[in-house]
Structure 1
Amino acid sequence: MAQTTPEADWVSRIADEVIAEAERRAEGKRAAGSGEAQDAAPLVVCASGLSPSGPIHLGNLREVMTPHLVADEVRRRGYPVRHLISWDDYDRFRKVPAGVAGVDDSWTEHIGKPLTSVPPPAGSPYGSWAEHFRAGMEDALAQLGVVYDGISQTERYTGGAYREQILHAVRHRGEIDAVLAQYRTKAAPGPNKRKQQGKPKDAETEAAELAAAEGSGAAGEEDSSGSAGYFPYKPYCTVCGTDFTSVTSYDDETTALRYDCAGCGHAETVELASFDNGKLVWKVDWPMRWALEGVVFEPSGVDHSSPGSSFQVGGEIVGIFGGEQPIGPMYAFVGISGMAKMSSSRGGVPTPGDALEIMEAPLLRWLYARRRPNQSFKVAFDQEIQRTYDEWDALGRKIDEGKAQPADLASRTRAASTAEGALPVTPRPLPYRTLASVVDITGGQEEQTLRILSELDPEAPVRSLDEVRPRLDRAHRWIATQVPADQRTRVLEEPDAALLGSLDAEQRESLRLLLEGLDEHWSLDGLTQLVYGVPKVRAGLAPDAKPTPELKVAQRGFFALLYQLLVGRDTGPRLPTLLLAVGADRVRELLGG
């Protein structure tokens, strides 16, 4: 096993722990005479869980990327590994998320049904609500190079895969109840309240109840308790399809289970040994799966990691199923520039698919790889995305020069490749901000875009837009979808005669120096030197002089003048890029040359 070093990144350190834990478990099985091969490397099982209850957002992606990165490191070391993603599509439909296209209040009639029994948003090509939201995430994971085994909980439960585990949980419901009782901080609801449990409520009431449940730990969990006492299994009604049910009696010998449905009034008796129309409640379902699947590593969000929450309670319940709690570090929330904490119960939150429209897959992977799981971070959809790309490119240059720190080198390697190979990259990664400025000015018109890009570096011109794809396409999409129309660049059609006529002698001389130097400096680097150098020359300084506070003021004034004459505003894209985009002849026209 590879040893941890002080320079190792967080992925390596967790992989060390996970492999050691897998080997310990395998040794225990061998000692118990399970027939485990003496020399065989243990299978390392990492797990994630996603509920397709609405848009699966960038916060949910951390639930996948954390175990993916660890599993990928384990795979790089030659160990057999599985990354399981449980699609919790047999969860109940809790409420109608706001802001989802093709969805209105009529979807409230499906509250309480499994997500796979809820119709998709209007116009969707998919067969159910769960399938609709799962499909977008699956496509994003493919682009991100995530290798996994997907598990549909609907298929598992309705196919009878968990029958033995369900019956085991019911037989040991007293022990499970005793564990949960340690964390109960409020009295159990009375019969009348139980009768109403799970019925559709208005949004304000449900939000208040969810907040109260979160504050009371295990006591807030929905179960099927009724006159039969605590019950860890909740049937879906065979008539209305909802889980507005409570168990009224159960016979341990025959497994005869009787339930009442508060949704439609139906009541019936079924044999749990052959009934596949319900599921274990969450705080029992999760540790049951840990035991059954032999999960060694599964992180969880802070909402699952607080005292009395599902991860802590599950750690005590998993032993009832003969299993062990996985290594499970808490991961922090992921935010979006300018947005609060994301919740998949709300519509309109950015998804991994949305992010991949404006950034390349390696960059998105890097955001998750470079931060420890307990560190929060933001994904930029605003102007900050340009700075993020600058940092990514700068790290690449450091690596090429042999100056990168080991942890930084590791994070970039994990972002750009997996154990299966390298992810697609842009052959010639020009600065994202440059590409964004160019497509902003040209509107994405390819002939104009290629002309400008070919002039950035005359000694090594871009000869085909394929050289700068897919980064160019991501920048184009960012301009089109994230930059408001009133903030996009529109070059003036005609010279601003009034402004040109009002210039003082100093301004006129500055423009003259700029226009005289255009031909000699017609490249990105050359124009950068020129526009910064003109105020230096006017101040009697050398073109390469270090700026003083007074010089910076003069430069800002000169830049504002150029922007006003070119685009009618005080700011805009970087001036060297703007000048290249406008073209020398038109620059001369607009600047009065």
Structure 2
Amino acid sequence: MSDLQSLAENAKAWPFEQARALLKRLKVMEKRGKPKQGPVVFETGYGPSGLPHIGTFGEVVRTTMVKTAFEALTSGDYETKLICISDDMDGMRKVPPTVPNPEALEPYMQMPLTAVPDPFGTHDSYGAHMGARLCAFLDSFGFEYEFLSATDCYKDGTFDPMLLRALEKFDDIMKVMLPTLGAERQATYSPFLPISPTTGRVLYVPMKDTNAKDGTVTFEDEDGSDVTLSVTGGNVKLQWKPDFGMRWAALGVDFEMFGKDHQDNAPIYSKITRILGCEPPQQYVYELFLDEHGQKISKTKGNGIAVEDWLKYATPESLSLFQFQKPRAAKKLYFDVIPKAVDEYLTFLEKFPDEEPKRQIENPVWHIHGGKPPTETSPISFALLLNLVGAVLPEDRSQLWGYISRYAPDATPESQPLLDTLAGYAMAYYRDFIEPTKTYRGPTEQEYAALSDLAGRLRSYDGEITPADLQTLVFSVGKDNGFADNIRDWFTALYEVLFGQSQGPRFGGFIALYGVENTAKMIETALDRA
């Protein structure tokens, strides 16, 4: 057993917990005489009615983390692969308002997305276009995956064995599904949705006959005629709940995670899989994100952050960290969380090299980077960069580097590309989120005296220019001016008077970065305004 494998057996990080549960499932199947044939399959699903979004990213990045943990735990005993499947045979229920010439798509309502023309004019169908957008999205993050089109799987025979089995087990599936439906829906429900040979639409109609021997279903078409179709060859698709379970069976899925909105239906998916003679996968349910008001994030409402929005202001790794942390806790996802996520990532990255191995595999950066975190970090926090931007108001990053180089003499944009990138992010974030909300206030009489004292001590300062020494100086000024019993009030005053905000990074670090004389001048300018 390798050292990593031994560590993985006891690691507490949630991807390892899931990896061990998955391995246990595989071992139980082996004891039952059903050893895994082929690779261990990790699956994620994608609804291609709209563009890939932050939920898509989260599902793939978290599944990848479990896959990496499983590979470490099993030390190459199992081949693995990640499947990302697009549900592109679903009927188009509404025309997305963001597509070009949306009215041109109205005649294609309820047709499979792969039968709807591509309004962007780049692919054979709307479904193909969205599938390509998904792949480009995943490729931009470097994910390793196999893309599958549900339409292809229905048409090329991949799903045929399980579709025929579902036809044989039609009554058993109905016994599972009918109790979950209202009386009106029960009267017309069928797990099979035929594609009308006359209109091309996905039909939600009851079956007049099912013939497992011939592999066919009979239904009333939209023109009133009875039609008999084979359930193979892309002539039908399954309702989404039976489809979920059928897909697990047909693709041999061993692990899948999904949002809490699927939790109540998960037992149904599993029952369908078992009816089809297969074992359902290990499942992991994660909580959904909330907006700043505690409301569920919705693509329709537009009250969340898109991936491209996050990446305007922060690194992909910081977004991965946000996804890694407490996936089973409801978390607010809005722009204010970005700076904290960036700095937490930098802190974890800085700690990693000096940690013992059993701590390293608990460190989020191990999971974010597939067990191989980069060595480069940043000598300056994102929060500190934001305050530097607020003090300097630079037009480009080169103006920030004049201060950065003095603080970290060995750092250059070429030797510290991460820091250079963070400087650009800080400028964008400050411009869009901090500057518009700044509210400066004048100092109280006590604060005025303390700030004057601090400016004077900085003017005469001849000590070491280190964040720690300068922080000690700031503490001393606060205590000497009546803030000893509540030093937090002193630092709050510094930020509200000087920066127009109620909090920030350690002030000693800011002085070291911005410069002792520059900080003294900033304080004096603020006092002149009072």
State whether TM-score is above 0.5. yes
Q: Is the 8 A contact 1:366 1:412 kept in 2?
A: yes
1:315-334 Cα offsets, whole Å, 9 max, x none, are: 22223322111222322223
C-alpha separation in 2, matches of 1:551 and 1:424: 38
Q: Is the 8 A contact 1:118 1:130 kept in 2?
A: yes
SS of residue paired to 2:81: strand
C-alpha separation in 2, matches of 1:424 and 1:489: 39
Report the equivalent of 1:196. Answer: none
Report the equivalent of 1:204. Answer: none
C-alpha separation in 2, matches of 1:587 and 1:90: 66
Sort the Cα spacing of 1:92 and 1:133 in 2 relative to 1 into closer, same or farther, 3 A. Answer: same
**Aligned AA for 1:389?**
V
Q: Is the 8 A contact 2:378 2:419 kept in 1?
A: yes
Residue 178 in 1 paired to residue 175 in 2?
Answer: yes
Query: Among 281, 289, 292, which residue is 1:326 paired with?
Result: 281
Report the equivalent of 1:510. Answer: 453
Sort the Cα spacing of 1:301 and 1:156 in 2 relative to 1 into closer, same or farther, 3 A. Answer: same
C-alpha separation in 1, matches of 2:132 and 2:305: 15
C-alpha separation in 1, matches of 2:140 and 2:46: 18
Report the equivalent of 2:55. Answer: 59
Residue 233 in 1 paired to residue 192 in 2?
Answer: yes
Residue 387 in 1 paired to residue 340 in 2?
Answer: yes
Report the equivalent of 1:50. Answer: 46
Report the equivalent of 2:320. Answer: 365
Report the equivalent of 2:401. Answer: 450
Residue correspondence of structure 1 range 513-532 to structure 2 within 5 A: 513-514=456-457, 516-517=459-460, 528-532=471-475
Query: Among 253, 276, 298, which residue is 2:234 paired with?
Result: 276
User: Percent of counterpart pairs with the same letter?
Assistant: 20
Structure with bigger helix share is: 2
Pairwise CA distance, 1:11: 2.2
SS of residue paired to 1:94: coil
**Aligned AA for 1:292?**
A
C-alpha separation in 1, matches of 2:522 and 2:181: 76
Report the equivalent of 2:94. Answer: 95
C-alpha separation in 2, matches of 1:244 and 1:368: 38
Report the equivalent of 2:80. Answer: 81
Pairwise CA distance, 1:286: 1.9
Q: CA RMSD in A?
A: 4.3
- 5+ residue gaps in structure 1? 31-35, 190-218, 220-224, 491-498, 540-546, 564-568
- What's the TM-score, normalizing by structure 1? 0.72
C-alpha separation in 1, matches of 2:419 and 2:191: 56
1:11-66 Cα offsets, whole Å, 9 max, x none, are: 22322221232244345447xxxxx8xxx997322222221222433334443334
Query: Among 403, 412, 435, which residue is 2:364 paired with?
Result: 412
Query: Among 291, 296, 299, which residue is 2:254 paired with?
Result: 296
Pairwise CA distance, 1:431: 0.7
**Aligned AA for 1:549?**
D
Q: Is the 8 A contact 1:95 1:345 kept in 2?
A: no
**Aligned AA for 1:10?**
W
**Aligned AA for 2:113?**
L
SS of residue paired to 2:184: coil
C-alpha separation in 2, matches of 1:283 and 1:512: 68
Residue correspondence of structure 1 range 425-574 to structure 2 within 5 A: 426-440=376-390, 441-443=392-394, 445-457=396-408, 460-462=410-412, 464=414, 466=417, 468-481=419-432, 483=433, 486-487=436-437, 506=449, 509-510=452-453, 512-514=455-457, 516-517=459-460, 528-538=471-481, 548-549=484-485, 552-553=488-489, 556-557=492-493, 560-563=496-499, 569=500
Q: Is the 8 A contact 2:22 2:254 kept in 1?
A: yes
Query: Among 22, 26, 39, which residue is 1:22 paired with?
Result: 26
Pairwise CA distance, 1:424: 5.6
Higher-RCO chain (CA-CA 8 Å, sequence separation at least 6): 1
C-alpha separation in 1, matches of 2:59 and 2:487: 50
Corresponding residue pairs, total: 513
Pairwise CA distance, 1:174: 1.7
Sort the Cα spacing of 1:326 and 1:461 in 2 relative to 1 into closer, same or farther, 3 A. Answer: closer
Residue 588 in 1 paired to residue 518 in 2?
Answer: no
Sort the Cα spacing of 1:555 and 1:292 in 2 relative to 1 into closer, same or farther, 3 A. Answer: closer
SS of residue paired to 2:282: coil
C-alpha separation in 2, matches of 1:50 and 1:536: 58
Report the equivalent of 2:267. Answer: 312
Query: Among 114, 117, 122, which residue is 1:116 paired with?
Result: 114
Sort the Cα spacing of 1:274 and 1:339 in 2 relative to 1 into closer, same or farther, 3 A. Answer: same
- 5+ residue gaps in structure 2? none
Q: Is the 8 A contact 2:88 2:151 kept in 1?
A: yes
1:204-243 Cα offsets, whole Å, 9 max, x none, are: xxxxxxxxxxxxxxx6xxxxx75xxx53211233444332
